Structures are given as C-alpha cells and as structure tokens.
C-alpha cells in the first residue's frame, strides 16, 4: 500500500500502486522492452527484418495487397488522405465533426497538405448515411473512425456502414478507415479485422492503443497506393534508420492481445451492467459497443482527483484522477478503456470504485 508520503505527489502515488483499473496497467520500461524478442531481426530504414514481417502479417490480416509501418498515426493518416486527394484532383475530406484529425492533431491535414474538412452530422451522434446526403460537392475521401473514440467507442450498425461506403463509391471518393481501435470493433460486429476492412480502400491501425505496443502503426491498402504512402513517409521524416523496436513490440502485442478482444468486450458489458443505478453516473454508449466506454460523473475535477488519490493511498489501486473532458462546472467525463489490468477486477469491485469516485 502506498505510504502517506506520496499524498502530495500524484506521480509518485501512481507509481506505488499495485493494481490499475484501466487498460493494461502501468507500462514500465521493462514491460515494454519485454515485447521485443531477443532474436528480433533488425530493419534498415524500414526495409526488411521484423518491419517487413509485421507489414506482411498486417496486410494478410486486413485482406489488403500491402501494408506499410509508420512511427505515427498522425503522419500515416495525413499522408494517406493526401494520396487519395492527389489521385482524384479533389481536396475535400468528409468526416464526423469529432474526427481525431480535426480535434487532436493541430489540423495538420489542412496546414501541411491543403486538404479541406467537410464535417458531416452532429457532434453527439455517430456518422450515418443521412448526414452524408447533405454533402453536395464530390469529396476526395470519406473517413470513418471505427470505433468513434470521442463518442465513447460507438460503432455504426453494419448496414449503415455499408450504406456510407456505397455513398462514397458512388461519389468517386476513396473510403479510408481510422482504425486506431479497429481491433476493439471486432467483437461487436462479430467479424474479423479483414471482413471489416474489406469495405475500405485503405485502413490505418494502431499498435499502442488497445494492443499496448510501444508505438507505431500500419496503413494497408492497394500496392500502388501504399507505394505512394511510402514516398510520403520519407518526406515526413518517418523513414527512420531503425524501426525494429517498435515493429517487434507491435507484432508481439498483436499476437498476444488481439485474441483477447472478445474477453475485454464481455467484461465491458458486465461492468456496464454492474454500474447501472450508481447515482450521478452515466455510461456512453450504454451498453458499450467496444472494450471502452465513457463514464459521466456529476463531480468536479478536484473532487475526482481527491477521491482517486484517497483510493490509491488506501487500497493501492489506481483509477482516474483526471477527466477526459469537463462538460460543465459539476460534470465530467472519464474515458475507460479495458485491457489486461481491468480483467483482474470483478464487476462488483469496479462498481464500488466508481461509486466512491462519484461520491457515494
């Protein structure tokens, strides 16, 4: 149990905790390095070795002709959309108003690549076919995020997803998936990553979010498109001398945690059921559609931090001491992603912890 001396130092307090409620728990340097097998074959400027092995496996897993490893999803998606835009001599990119590229990446697509945002739909609802019918000018690409992080991990119904893809194809637009959390979408749809990816021209997947690798991502798609993405990777400075530590950890995490996604999702559903009836608490979406959810609490940020630190000092359990967003003076939202660490808590334990965070 953490000592009282850690009370005024949240970082130290967190470091002394033994159990972690969210994700895969504390990612120590030793934990991350253990994902790199000692016999890993190194690449050279992104060619050969474990990088090529990862790219081949991801291309096969997603049912695409080729895949390319990049150190950053921000880089990967800007490049991919630029390639689609140049090929169609169009600059408009259609996406949901909460698109990650627009909210969290400094609008690099606009400042670096002269791509133009066409937000479709409303902030509080997932993107759907009706919203796309309001788009008039033919776009270069339609971007769909699966699942939608800023909406708590929501996923469109499969028939609506097919309808949106059909709209894009009829408009002559490419269809690109922001699949940073694609792996987490598979249990809800009851489909493989390749079956979901088959609707899309290009797919971006992350290796450090739900999978827990060190960092990095892949873009998969047609061979000629990926060849152009590779050229742009060089221009963006992403063709590092050695990408092998990231690729090796990604491959290990992919093998270890992709098969666990159904277990994470079942646990998310069980936890959501257990949280029903906690005063001042709401789940978004309810029920969860992925191994993640947003939890709204009627508390202030200071109240959340104080209660989380009290739990940590008393029980050695790290929960959440800061919000994902502050919705009003007395309401905030927590992003709760599930992983290996979460599986160590029963739903009733999670209910008790959130009850204390909510002040009950």
DSSP assignments along 213-260, one per residue: -SS-EEEEE-HHHHHHHHHHHHHTT---S--HHHHHHHHHHHHHHGGG
Tens-place pLDDT, residues 83-140: 999 999 999 999 999 999 998 899 999 999 999 999 999 998 999 999 999 999 999 9
| Domain spans in the chain, listed from the N-terminal domain onward | 4-28+276-357, 36-255
Q: Residue 16, SS3? A: helix
> How far apart are the C-alpha atoms of 4 and 187, rounded to whole Å?
42
Tens-place pLDDT, residues 195-219: 999 999 999 999 999 999 999 999 9
| CA distance between the termini of the chain | 23
Residues 209 and 181 sit within 8 Å (Cβ to Cβ): yes
Q: Which residues contact 172 (CB under 8 A, 6 or more apart)?
A: 88, 138
Residues 357 and 319 sit within 8 Å (Cβ to Cβ): yes
Q: Decide if domain 36-255 falls under CATH 1.25.60.10.
A: no
pLDDT over threshold 90, residue 5: no
Looking at the DSSP bridge assignments, the partners of residue 218 are 69, 205
pLDDT band at 6; cut points 50, 70, 90: very low
Q: Within 10 Å of residue 330's Cβ, how many Cβ atoms?
A: 12
Q: Residue 153, SS3? A: coil
Q: Give the percent of the chain with pLDDT over 90.
A: 96
pLDDT band at 2; cut points 50, 70, 90: low
Residues 33 and 354 sit within 8 Å (Cβ to Cβ): no
Nearest CA-CA partner of 54 in 176, 211, 264: 211
> How far apart are the C-alpha atoms of 250 and 216, rounded to whole Å?
8
Angle between helices 261-275 and 182-189 (to 10 degrees): 70
pTM: 0.95
Domains 4-28+276-357 and 36-255 share a fold: no
Q: Where are the alpha helices (DSSP H) in 65-212?
A: 73-88, 100-103, 108-113, 129-132, 158-170, 182-189, 193-197
Nearest CA-CA partner of 289 in 145, 179, 153, 98: 153
Nearest CA-CA partner of 186 in 152, 229, 151, 155: 155
Q: Residue 338, SS3? A: strand
Q: Mean pLDDT throughout 137-144?
A: 97
Residue indicated by tokens 């992003």: 335
pLDDT band at 360; cut points 50, 70, 90: confident
pLDDT at 3: 55
> How far apart are the C-alpha atoms of 117 and 97, rounded to whole Å?
9
Q: Mean pLDDT throughout 5-23?
A: 86
> How far apart are the C-alpha atoms of 308 and 67, rounded to whole Å?
42
Q: Within 10 Å of residue 151's Cβ, how many Cβ atoms?
A: 20
> How far apart are the C-alpha atoms of 297 and 287, rounded to whole Å?
17
Residue indicated by tokens 């450090």: 208
> How far apart are the C-alpha atoms of 237 and 75, rounded to whole Å?
9
Tens-place pLDDT, residues 285-337: 999 999 999 999 999 999 999 999 999 999 999 999 999 999 999 999 999 99
> How far apart are the C-alpha atoms of 85 and 250, rounded to whole Å?
29
Residues 58 and 202 sit within 8 Å (Cβ to Cβ): no
Q: Decide if domain 4-28+276-357 falls under CATH 2.30.30.40.
A: no
Helix (H), strand (E) at residue 330: none
Q: Which residues contact 310 (CB under 8 A, 6 or more apart)?
A: 356
Q: What is the dihedral of CA 336, 95, 260, 348, to 10 degrees?
A: 20
Looking at the DSSP bridge assignments, the partners of residue 177 are 144, 203
> How far apart are the C-alpha atoms of 145 and 204, rounded to whole Å?
10
């Amino acid at each position: 149990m953490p000592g009282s001396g850690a009370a005024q130092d949240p970082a130290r307090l967190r470091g002394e905790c033994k159990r972690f409620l969210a994700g895969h728990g504390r990612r120590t340097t030793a934990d991350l390095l253990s994902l790199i097998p000692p016999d890993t074959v190194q690449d050279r400027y992104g060619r050969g070795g474990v990088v090529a092995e990862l790219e081949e496996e991801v291309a096969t897993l997603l049912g695409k002709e080729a895949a390319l490893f990049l150190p950053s999803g921000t880089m990967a998606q800007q490049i991919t959309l630029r390639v689609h835009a140049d090929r169609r001599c169009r600059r408009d990119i259609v996406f949901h108003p909460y698109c990650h590229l627009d909210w969290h990446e400094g609008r690099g697509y606009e400042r670096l690549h002269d791509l133009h945002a066409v937000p479709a739909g409303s902030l509080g609802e997932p993107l759907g076919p009706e919203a796309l019918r309001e788009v008039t000018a033919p776009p270069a690409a339609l971007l769909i995020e699966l699942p939608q992080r800023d909406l708590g991990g929501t996923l469109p119904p499969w028939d609506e997803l097919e309808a949106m893809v059909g709209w894009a194809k009829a408009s002559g637009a490419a269809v690109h998936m922001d699949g940073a959390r694609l792996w987490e979408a598979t249990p809800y749809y009851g489909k493989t990553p390749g079956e979901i990816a088959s609707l899309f021209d290009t797919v971006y997947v992350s290796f450090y979010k739900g999978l827990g690798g060190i960092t990095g991502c892949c873009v998969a798609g047609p061979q000629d498109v990926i060849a152009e993405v590779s050229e742009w990777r060089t221009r963006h400075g992403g063709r590092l001398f050695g990408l092998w530590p990231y690729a090796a950890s990604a491959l290990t995490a992919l093998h270890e945690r992709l098969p666990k996604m159904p277990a994470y999702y079942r646990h998310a559903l069980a936890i959501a059921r257990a949280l029903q009836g906690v005063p001042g608490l709401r789940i978004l979406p309810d029920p969860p559609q992925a191994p993640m959810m947003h939890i709204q609490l009627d508390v202030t940020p200071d109240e959340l931090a104080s209660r989380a630190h009290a739990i940590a000092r008393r029980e050695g359990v790290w929960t959440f001491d800061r919000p994902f967003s502050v919705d009003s003076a007395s309401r905030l939202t927590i992003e709760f992603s599930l992983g290996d660490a979460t599986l160590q808590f029963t739903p009733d334990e999670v209910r008790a912890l959130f009850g204390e965070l909510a002040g009950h």
